[in-house]
Structures are given as structure tokens and as C-alpha cells.
Structure 1
């Protein structure tokens, strides 16, 4: 135990967005807080590095940030003062299809409706109510387990959201192209699209396109982390790097400790203090499929057949609803799909500072079975070539990470799971323990603040905020709100 640790009132293990939001929330109440990070850089899933050629800045994990732009806690903090600048791509989301067709979704709802033809009516019926009530909806969706502040809005969202993505797509859309777009949204859940509640992911992400947008952080995702750290330091906080915590006994007793870690890691660190029943429940926590990622340094923009795709910040590849559903079903069943659902981000389409003049970076990944070591680079390139013939000729250099390499890079990504646990029905509402306050572990002074708690995966910091709120209420009798 470091003697310097005795100076602090509370500790946060892990420097991801949730770790920082919890530490900031505590520091705002006058507590002296230390963040302890095992790696030599801060950020967790929000880091940016040169991993191909010099001058090409690649986001290692997250790249496009609708949940960060819509986060109640991030919007409360003075992150712009500390250098965070959001850039809205000209086209929010594109879903290329064969024969040069593509579903193009703009931030402007009216412009998007004008593009959808006979599906405009169904699209408007599905999304307009959620768009109009976004402030109310987001405050409850980005929340913990509680009675909704806006029950009527949440009742409508809950009614549609509880269905599968397939049922909602078939109910509201006539064109296969619009159904394919909704599949691309819902597939962010990394759950088979026939399963209940997959529609909820499509609804939130689809609504966010037309409200907060799908922006990127200027300079890369590291800018989010850097802004969070700058604000935390301004509040008197401290960050210690290169210090992996392997046992709870390495920290002072009797002081709150918040884990920006997943359940299996916490079991290893706290093992001798956990009740056997809790130890078993956390040990049984289920992790979802993993990700295989390829970053490309390019000599020129991707030669998409559909010209408007060149302006998109995000693209979903994989074809029709049925094709995407098949790929996600195969992954869930531990099969590597021949034609995977591929997510693409084109940062330099909106932020040319991310690469040398005239050059570009491309961010891509697909879903794979948990713990996969399989190289999916060729499958990803083939899927891009399907909609952008000649893409191979633009590649200067690439860098790949398998699911197991993802875990090596970030121990929170167990088996390559980037969401902190499978987003199944039981783990949506009982994450990681089924209790009213899931952040408070049944050990005195110990809390969990990671994406393994509500509201789950994504760069939004809300899990960290609610964990800190639990600490303040239980340890200090302080009630805090956004």
C-alpha cells in the first residue's frame, strides 16, 4: 500500500469514461479522489494512437459518439472548455446496398424523410415522437433502475423497444432497403435480431441521428478522455498510471473504492471479501460476442460506388436485413460469418487533421464469437470491396486486433466483448446483480461503476455517475442530481 494513498478520500480503479465521470462527481462534492490506471495511458475505450504509419491517428476502440453527445453527465461538464469539440459529418449514417444504392440518413429529419419514398410515413410514425421528446427519453434511457421521470414517454418506448428488430422493421417499413438500415442500427446490440428488445437499440440510435447526431471528436476519441482528465485535475483529483491493482488489500481500508472493471475482474481482486453467493453471481456473469477490428491508412478516400457514402461519418455494411440477421445469428452461435456485419467510420471525411494531407484513416470492425483468435481482415476487406471496388488499391498499411488481442489491450474487454457483458434481457435489467442499487457491492465501501452496470455499454459516463451518486448517498448522506 502506498503511503500517499492515505491522503485520498476515495479511489477509482480504471480511467475509462465511467471511471472519470464517477471520479468527477465525487470530486465536485469536495472529496479528494485518485484514479488508478493499470496502463501507461488513460482512456479505456477512448484512446487515439498512431498504429499504422506516422501521422495517421486511429481510434483504438470507440470512434463515433452519439451516446457521448447525448450523455446527461457529459453535457453538464465544461468539456468544451478543456478542448473537446464535436464534429458532425455531412451525412450521419449510410447503409450501402448492391448496385450502387444506399440508404442515406441525414441529421435533418425532414431531409431524411424526403429520401425514403413510400417508407417516409412509417419512418415518421416510428421516430418523430421519440425525436420530439428526446430530452425526456434520454434522461430515462441513460438512467439506472428507477421509476421513470417521464412515464408516458418511456411507456411508448418500452412498448416498441421490447419487440425484436425484425418485428419493428416488418411492421413499419415496406422497402427492404429501409429494413436493412434499421437492422444496421439494431445490430449494435450484438444480439441476434430476432430476439426481444433488439428494437430498443435501433430506436435509440435511430432517434439520436436526428437529435444529437452521430459526431466524432476532433482529433480523435482521446480528446474526450483528455477533456475529462483536465476537468478532473482542475477539481484537485489525481491520476496514477502504470499501477495494476491485483488485490483490494493494496488500498486503504474504510475508504470508498469504485471499480471501472467488469465482474470477473472484480472477483479476482476482492475474492476473499465477497459473500459466496455474490461471488458466484458475479462469476456467472455472461460476456457477449467479441469484435475483430482493422484500422486502415489510405492513400485516398474509399471509392464507394455511391458517391454520397464518401460524406458519411458511419456506414453499416452487410446488405439486407436477412443478411445482417444471419451474420449476427452465426456470431451468437459461435460461428465466424463469411459475410459479416461490418461497421465503418470515416473520421477524415470530416476531420482531415487525423491524417497527412490528402490521406485518410478508416476504422472498421465486425462481430466474432467471444474469445475468437480468427483473423477476419480479409472478410472485412471483401465486404468493403462489395460496395467500393478498388478499395484494396488505396490501402497503405493496416493494423488488426482479434477479440483476444482486444482483451490484452484492454482487460475490460473479456473475450473481446466491448460492451462489458452480453446485453441479454436478464442482463439489461440485472446488470451485474439484480438489485435496486446495482452499483453498491455487498462489501463495505466497494462499488462498481463500469459498463457492466446500467445503462450499459457506450461512451456516456452514466454508469460512473450513478455509481458515484450511490457512494455519496450511502457514505456521506449527500444527494446529488444532474
Structure 2
């Protein structure tokens, strides 16, 4: 960092790298500082030593936003050699008695499988899938402006989305359904919000993700793991003169060399500590009120064969939500929100080899899983996760060769943004969904030359790069007076200063 630097980015998660790429393509000198020895934050793929040659995704494994995120669409991952593999079944929800809700990429097939509630699913989810771009623009916006392209054609879809959130986010959430399979299927995807159910923010996230399962190219997994996305971002950054420095923890802005702009890919509380007295008292007080939600405990397993799901169609799914019926999932989430471990926790499972056979090495394959747990839990949930999967996949224990658990309390050792195991970098309640990290008119600018670009800023969690992109666009305009946004397309691109 001896050469003059225009922009420093603290943190190399997808948002930090999105910000860095955007600034570098505008002709600025950019350095990314990462506290960990490896790059990527919540999108790293590593050999954990559980089995020779078998690699695991540390946090994210499946990427519904890889095709849908405006930033990643413009960046064009496939053109950069990232192969996005879409399973036939985007996600599934096994149920007692060998039943299951199955969200095929094909909407008609999904509707047929839901029987009496098929028409209700088409009306609620299918109609949103028809205009998924509008839903994404609403869910992935900066929460402060009208999304581009919404007016006028997107208004009917926006109203339909809002009504769907009002329905699925309140006790009226089962009014349209007559059976138990369709509501369970939708509840599993809403549980990604890791909060009490029903809730409006969970409904908003769930409906968007459910729509994306049927729209475009579904829920893909990158060939080789999530690290492929990170590698593509880093390659572009370096091609435009940017650098990444690992094992470099930043505790204060005073530790940094003179620089015109700093973008913090950190949680809101870390940003408060790092920026310190650079922040106005009002901003410090607002960030001090920022709250974190419940946590997850990550479980990585090595299997000697595929998960023996009782329902055959679940075996085709890239993601499986394991929690049972709508009532059972809601009860588990309520227990976690109250600070208790659920007897039968909500568990998310992904078996990459379903679509990426190259992940199987020497007959062994990785299984990605996490369980929802109370914030800060230090409990090893391996046995609970195995037991929960075994309920819907008899014989699962027999194919488990190795396992390791990272309890919620230890997740911050791998990514400091996951306070208490909160992988959303902030509670996903209504207040913090709308006013994340504060209710300031500009949610990214914390002080002169200091910006927040993490999942603690809009639009929130997920591998989409939007927080970094929004923050970088403000840096370009407000600090460097760059009015023309750089191209993100592969190739030289950008606007040289």
C-alpha cells in the first residue's frame, strides 16, 4: 500500500468485491483489506481436511441471485467462466409420512404436484415469477428510491407483491391454502430470514426466492463451489489495477494511510467502532441501536453416497428445507427467537453433487447444512442435524463418513460480520428491513469519505453484490464526481480517469 490509493475497501465479501470492482473500473486505484487469510467472506470454498480432495462451501452454497442480481447480471458470471448449474428441483420441503413439497424449476410441474393447492400457488407465486425482474428490483433496491423500470409497467406486480407480503406475513398466511404441502413449501423458503414466522420481511424474502425458483434459470450452484464467484470478481479487480491484501485486520480508520474514500464491508457495529469519532454523534447513536438476530450453526458433512430422501423428487433438489409442516417450522423459529434450541430445528441442506458430480471425489461427497439456533449458541448441533435429516431420509446416518460443526458463537472467527452467528449481519425485522442500518436518507454514507457497503446496508443479506454496488456508485458521484457509471461487462471496460 505504499503507492497512493484512491479507495480502500475493508472486507472481501461479495459486497466488498462488488464495490472494489466498480471503483476500479472507473479508473480509481483500489486496495481491498481482508482480515482472514482467505478471500470471499460468506462465499468461500475450502478444503476443510474432512476427506482428501473434498471441498466445502463455508457459508453460501446455492445462489438464487446469481442470475437475478442486477449487479451480477451486468458483471456476467458465465462470460467469465463461472458455470452456473441449475438443478431440476430448486428446493423441496420433506414432510412426515413420505410426502414432500417440491418446487420444480418448471412452474406447471410444481402446480401439478401441489394438488388442491396448485391453483393457489400459481396465483400467488407463479404470477410473481412472470415478472420476477420487478420483484427483484423492489426487494434488491436501496430502500430510498423508486427502482428503475418500476413505473409504470411494474406497478401491478408491485401491488401483487405487497399484497402477498401482507397475506403471508400475518396470521392470515394460510387462508388461501386448503392442504398442508403448499404452505409448508412456502414456509421453508421464508425461513431463510431466520426470524419469527409469520413476518412481513420473511414473507418478502420468501416470495422473491420462491418466484426466482420458477423464473429465468432457477436456483443455481456454481460448478466447483461458491468460491468461483469470488475468483471471478478478484480476477476482474486485479485486471483493472486493484489489489487484495489478506491477513490485514482494520481496527480503526486511524490505522489506514491517507485515502479519499473508505468502504466498509463490515457489520454496522464494526463500522461504528472502526469509524469512531469520524461519525457524527447522531450516527453513532443510531448504529449503537443496530440489532442482530438469531444465529445458525454450520455443519459440514462428508457422505459415502447421496442422501436417501424418502420422497424420490427431493433427491433432485439443490436445496432442501428440513423442518416439516408450516406449524412445525413456525414453532421451531419461535423457540429460537425466544433463546431456546428447538427440539426439531429448522435445517437447510444442500448436496452440490446433485448437479455438480465433480464435487464427488473418490466416492465421497460434501453435504452443506446449517441449523437455526439462538444467538451466540455454543452448542455442537451435529447430532441434531443428522437426526432431523434422518426423519425424512431413513438410513442417512449410514452414509455419514465425517462431520464438523461450527457453533454460532464461533462463526465470527470465520467472518466477523456474523455476530452471534447471525449470517444476515443484522436482524431481519420490519424496522431493520426498511431502515438498514439507520433511517438516514443515504443509508451508505456514514461520514465524509466513509461508506458502509455490507449486508448491514440495503438490500441486506445474500450473495448479490448490490450493497457494494450501490455504495460504490455513491462514492464515485459524491467523492470523485464521476457521473458516468463504468461498464461491468467482461473485457477492458470502465472509464479511465
SS of the residue 1:3 aligns to: coil
Q: Is the 8 A contact 1:305 1:389 kept in 2?
A: yes
Q: Which shifted more, 265-274 or 99-108?
A: 265-274
Aligned to 1:113: 111
Aligned to 1:428: 433
1:227: how far off? 0.8
Q: Deviations over 1:194-233 (max 9, x none)?
A: 3333221221011010013111010001111001111111
Shift of 1:249: 1.3
Tell me the equivalent position of 2:396.
Answer: 391
Counterpart in the other structure of 1:155:
159
Taking structure 1 as reference, are residues 154 and 435 closer, same or farther at Cα in structure 2, changes over 3 Å only? farther
1:18 corresponds in structure 2 to: 15
SS at match of 2:36: coil
CA offset at residue 164 of structure 1?
4.1
CA contact (8 A) 1:165 1:186 kept: no
Local SS of the residue matching 2:41: coil
2:80 and 2:233 map into 1 onto residues whose CA distance is 8
Task: Please state how far the C-alpha of 1:353 moved relative to its aligned partner.
Answer: 1.3
Match of 1:313 among 295, 311, 318: 318
- The offset of 1:480, in angstroms, is 4.9
Structure 2 residue matching 1:172: 3-state secondary structure: coil
Instruction: For structure 1, list consecutive stretches of 5 or more residues without a partner in the other structure.
Output: none
Change (3 A) 1:368 1:236: same
Q: 2:2 maps to which residue?
A: 3
**Deviation per residue, 1:99-142 (Å, 9 max, x gap):** 21111111011111121111111111112321121122222321
CA shift, 1:168, in A, is 5.8
**How far has the Cα of 1:163 moved from its partner?**
4.1
Distance 1:343 1:30 in 2: 41
After superposition, the C-alpha distances for 1:17-70 in whole angstroms (9 at most, x for unaligned) are: 000111111112111111111111100000111211111111110011002221
Q: Say whether 1:290 aligns with 2:287.
A: no
* Other structure's SS at 1:371 match: coil
Does the 8 Å contact 1:64/1:314 carry over to 2?
A: yes
CA distance in 2, matches of 1:10, 1:162: 42
1:195-234 mapped onto 2 (5 Å cutoff): 195-211=199-215, 212-234=217-239
Distance in structure 1 (CA, Å) of the matches to 2:314 and 2:356: 16
1:408-463 CA-partner distances (Å, limit 9, x unpaired): 1111101111011001111011110102210001x210000000011000000000
SS of the residue corresponding to residue 479 of structure 2 reads: helix
Q: 1:469 aligns with which of 468, 473, 483?
A: 473
CA contact (8 A) 1:123 1:172 kept: no
Counterpart among 450, 456, 465 of residue 452 in structure 1: 456
Q: Contact 1:80–1:227 at 8 Å: present in 2 too?
A: no
* Superposition pairs of residues 124-273 of structure 1, within 5 angstroms: 124-144=122-142, 145-149=144-148, 150-151=150-151, 152=155, 153-165=157-169, 167=171, 169-211=173-215, 212-273=217-278
User: Which is further off, 191-200 or 61-70?
Assistant: 191-200
3-state secondary structure, aligned to 1:294: strand
Q: Which residue of 2 aligns with 1:361?
A: 366
Counterpart of 1:223 in 2: which secondary structure? helix
- Contact 1:186/1:201 (CA < 8 Å) preserved in 2? yes
CA–CA distance in structure 1, aligned partners of residues 209 and 341 of structure 2:
26
CA 1:141–1:480: 2 relative to 1, 3 Å: farther
Q: Shift in Å at residue 476 of structure 1?
A: 2.2
Deviation, structure 1 residue 171: 2.6
Asked if the contact 1:219/1:354 (under 8 Å) is kept, the reply is yes
Q: Separation in 1 of the partners of 2:194 and 2:475?
A: 31
Whole-angstrom distance in 2 between the partners of 1:165 and 1:99: 28
Distance in 2 between residues matched to 1:172 and 1:207, nearest whole Å? 17
TM-score by length of 2: 0.93
What TM-score do the two structures reach when normalised by structure 1? 0.96
- Equivalent-residue separation in structure 1 for 2:242 and 2:76 (angstroms): 16
SS at match of 1:197: helix
CA, structure 1 residues 168+185, in 2 after alignment: closer, same or farther (shift >3 Å)? farther
Q: What does residue 89 of structure 1 align with?
A: 87
Instruction: For residue 11 of structure 1, give the secondary structure of its aligned residue in structure 2.
Output: strand
Going from structure 1 to structure 2, the CA distance change for 1:424 and 1:42 (only over 3 Å counts) comes to: same
The aligned counterpart of 2:491 is: none
> 1:77 aligns to what?
75
**Size of the alignment, in residue pairs?**
478
* Inter-partner Cα distance in structure 1 for 2:169 and 2:461: 19
